């Protein structure tokens, strides 16, 4: 979109298969159819060669040289953060060299939680120490996050400035859709005042805009077994008020999303909706969207969703209704109300440019409300009078544990049982505010009007702006106590510490799921560990999008070998949570993905 070529932009991503699929999609959109080791593990897309310039002892592979020399590098933060996180071996060298000559942009900065925020602060401190500029980007940056990272950067910059006899003040810029503010700042107090002033002005501007999103709390009992039925009722209520009409058939249609916190409930809810008893005259077509799906199947799904949920321009209704899949469903059933439902985990919250008519949300955090709200009427300017977002009164974890364990967690900010006075959402958020307008106000400033939002501000404060903390486990200890000269902080507070160790498997046609051993040879996974499950005919009929893995593989392989193609495009990451694969059981369905058994 910004016009950079492969000679100017390097992209570091997980596997060559992702590169190939992305390039094919771009081609289709244009044509209307169709030691000695590297310091990097993943694939890098970049076309231009550069001279080694004396670094041949470090940059031993072409990929390493491209990583360093590309004018612009796009990658996940995992690759760059090794500059501060690696305490053994040489994998810190390349990201450190890159950071010495590059400014740092961190997108969706508040997508990280827990102690990952401290690790990111360490990286920002290093960027300041190297004299580089830093941009943090998100629509929902809390004030303590902005202040904490300014403090980390300034502490690093002071070291850089002292070595070069430069002023220690910092040029700061605030940018949003309403304007830009620039100011030279010399201390935290001055920064906080300017930031608060900018945010106050932003909120005033937001309040003057068309109200596109309103939310209500959807009722549900404290019985976990009835939770999915309560979600179904919320779906029906949202469809009633937020829909469009197919002029050909006179049928009422809507496209909505249900956000659930975790993969297994996502699959369970999808199954429930596929077999649900619907009111006369209504029909739901649904699919599950999450990370635990075979790469080729997920790519096909995302390609379809990106097309159907692009709803800008004056003719979006015609574009939706002319879609072959939508048209077949609408014409093929007798129901007056046809409801298309995407059941999704938080993978839908960031990075997807999708526009839905309505949303139903299982609550995990106040941030999750705002991020999912950004997917409702994303491309359309339309004022609403009825709430187009339903937030469930409880989340599933709270109901399953009887409120006796931490519930607003994984994802979420709750650490202790007494962090919240109740798990009843009506008691910990301001329902009047939500029904008037749902926006980022309670996230980007402290209002004390929502206990749930206040908890998030409290946790971020403890992590980033608790200036009395001086130990190696704290960001302040790293900045002011010299702990950055040791490897102790990274041992105590590791980046991605809560991430389970995934195992990469591949879905083949002949042998089912296989893994690769240390020599690259395939080893079949015991069929007892991953059981294949088929959907009934009734459930299959209610799928929104049907995909055929073998057909997709055949298309990808062309005249090549199907099994070899599967070992590239049939990749799936399996969460092990510290256990051996042989000690776990999973269920796989081609349409729904992988669930724990």
Residue 8 pLDDT > 90: no
Which helix (H) or strand (E) segment is 595 a member of?
Answer: strand 593-596
pLDDT at 28 over 70: no
Q: What is the CATH number of domain 215-452?
A: 3.40.50.300
**DSSP states of 8-53 as a string?**
TEEEEES-HHHHHHHHHHHHHHHHT----S-S--SEEE-------T
Residue 44's pLDDT is: 63
Burial class (CB in 10 A: 0-12, 13-18, 19+), 485: exposed
Q: Which residue has the higher pLDDT, 188 or 110?
A: 188
Residue 12 clears pLDDT 90, i.e. is over it: no
Please spell the DSSP secondary structure of 327-386, one letter per residue: HHHHHH---SEEEEEEEE-GGGTSS----BSEEEE--S-HHHHHHHHTTBSSS-----SS
CB 267, CB 274: distance < 8 Å: no
pLDDT tens-place string over residues 300-358: 999 999 999 999 988 999 999 999 999 999 999 999 999 999 999 999 998 899 999 99
Confidence of residue 449 (pLDDT cuts 50, 70, 90): confident
H or E segment at 480? Answer: helix 475-480
Over the stretch 215-238, which tens digit does the pLDDT of each residue have?
Answer: 999 999 999 899 999 999 999 999
Higher pLDDT: 58 or 36? It is: 58
> How far apart are the C-alpha atoms of 92 and 258, rounded to whole Å?
41
> Residue 121: which H helix or E strand, with range?
helix 116-129
pLDDT reported for residue 31: 43
- In the chain, CATH 3.40.50.300 covers 215-452
C-alpha pair distances (Å), 240 with each of 255, 387, 435 = 12, 11, 17
Reply yes or no on whether the pLDDT at 25 is more than 80.
no
| Tokens encoding 578 | 């510290």
Q: What is the pLDDT of residues 520-555, one digit of tens each?
A: 899 999 888 999 999 999 999 999 999 999 999 999
Helices 227-241 + 263-274 axis angle, to 10? 70
Residue 36: the pLDDT is 42
- Global confidence as pTM: 0.91
Angstrom distance (rounded) from CA 40 to CA 499: 20
| Of the candidates 65, 29, 33, 32, the residue with the CA atom closest to the CA atom of residue 50 | 65
Pairing of strands 571-575, 134-137: unpaired
Quick one: tokens of 34? Answer: 């169709």
Which pLDDT tens digit goes with each residue over 152-190?
999 999 999 999 999 999 999 999 999 999 999 999 999
Average pLDDT, the chain: 91
> Which tops the pLDDT comparison, 34 or 234?
234
């Amino acid at each position: 979109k910004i016009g950079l070529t492969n000679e100017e932009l390097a992209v570091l991503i997980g596997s060559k298969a992702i590169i190939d699929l992305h390039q094919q999609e771009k081609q289709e959109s244009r044509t209307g159819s169709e030691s000695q080791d590297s310091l990097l593990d993943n694939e890098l897309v970049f076309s231009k060669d550069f001279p080694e310039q004396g670094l041949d002892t470090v940059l031993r592979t072409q990929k390493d040289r491209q990583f360093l020399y590309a004018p612009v590098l796009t990658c996940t933060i995992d690759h760059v953060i090794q500059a501060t996180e690696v305490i053994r071996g040489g994998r810190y060298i390349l990201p450190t060299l890159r950071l010495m000559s590059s400014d740092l942009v961190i997108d969706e900065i508040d997508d990280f939680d827990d102690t990952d925020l401290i690790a990111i602060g360490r990286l920002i401190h290093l960027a300041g120490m190297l004299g580089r500029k830093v941009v943090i980007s998100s629509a929902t940056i809390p004030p303590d996050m902005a202040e904490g990272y300014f403090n980390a950067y300034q502490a690093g910059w002071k070291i850089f400035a002292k070595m070069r006899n430069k002023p220690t003040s910092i040029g700061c810029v605030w940018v949003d859709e309403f304007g830009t503010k620039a100011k030279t700042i010399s201390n935290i107090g001055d920064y906080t005042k300017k930031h608060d002033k900018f945010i106050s002005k932003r909120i005033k501007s937001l309040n003057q805009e068309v109200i596109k999103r309103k939310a209500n709390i959807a009722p549900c009992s404290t019985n976990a077994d009835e939770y999915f039925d309560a979600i179904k009722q919320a779906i029906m209520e949202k469809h009633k008020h937020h829909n469009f009409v197919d002029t050909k058939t006179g049928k009422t249609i809507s496209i909505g999303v249900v956000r659930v916190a975790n993969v297994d409930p996502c699959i369970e809810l999808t199954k429930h909706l596929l077999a649900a008893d619907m009111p006369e005259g209504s029909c739901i077509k649904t699919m599950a969207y999450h990370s635990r799906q075979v790469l080729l199947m997920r790519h096909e799904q995302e390609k379809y969703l990106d097309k159907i949920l692009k709803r800008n321009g004056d003719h979006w209704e015609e574009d939706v209704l002319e879609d072959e899949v939508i048209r077949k469903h609408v014409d093929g059933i007798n129901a007056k109300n046809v409801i298309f439902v995407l059941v999704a985990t938080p993978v839908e919250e960031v990075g997807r440019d999708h526009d839905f008519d309505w949303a139903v949300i299982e609550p995990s955090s106040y941030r999750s409300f705002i991020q999912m709200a950004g997917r409702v009427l994303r491309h359309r300017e339309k004022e609403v009078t009825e709430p187009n977002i339903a937030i469930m009164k409880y989340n599933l974890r709270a109901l399953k544990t009887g409120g006796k364990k931490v519930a607003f967690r994984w994802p979420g900010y709750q650490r202790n049982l007494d962090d919240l006075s109740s798990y009843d959402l009506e008691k910990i958020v301001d329902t009047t505010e939500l029904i008037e307008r749902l926006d980022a106000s309670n996230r980007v400033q402290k209002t004390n009007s929502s206990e749930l939002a206040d908890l998030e501000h409290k946790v971020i404060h403890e992590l980033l702006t608790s200036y009395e903390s001086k130990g190696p486990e704290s960001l302040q200890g790293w900045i002011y106590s010299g702990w950055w000269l040791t490897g102790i902080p990274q041992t105590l507070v590791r980046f991605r510490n809560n991430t389970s160790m995934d195992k990469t498997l591949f879905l083949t046609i002949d042998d089912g799921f296989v893994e690769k051993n240390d020599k690259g040879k395939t080893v079949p996974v015991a069929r007892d560990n991953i059981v294949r499950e088929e959907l009934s005919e009734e459930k299959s009929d209610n799928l929104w999008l049907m995909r055929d893995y073998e057909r997709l593989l055949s298309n990808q392989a062309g005249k090549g070998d199907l099994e070899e193609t599967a070992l590239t495009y049939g990749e799936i990451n399996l969460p092990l949570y510290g256990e051996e694969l042989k000690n776990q059981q999973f269920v796989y369905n081609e349409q729904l993905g992988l669930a724990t058994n």
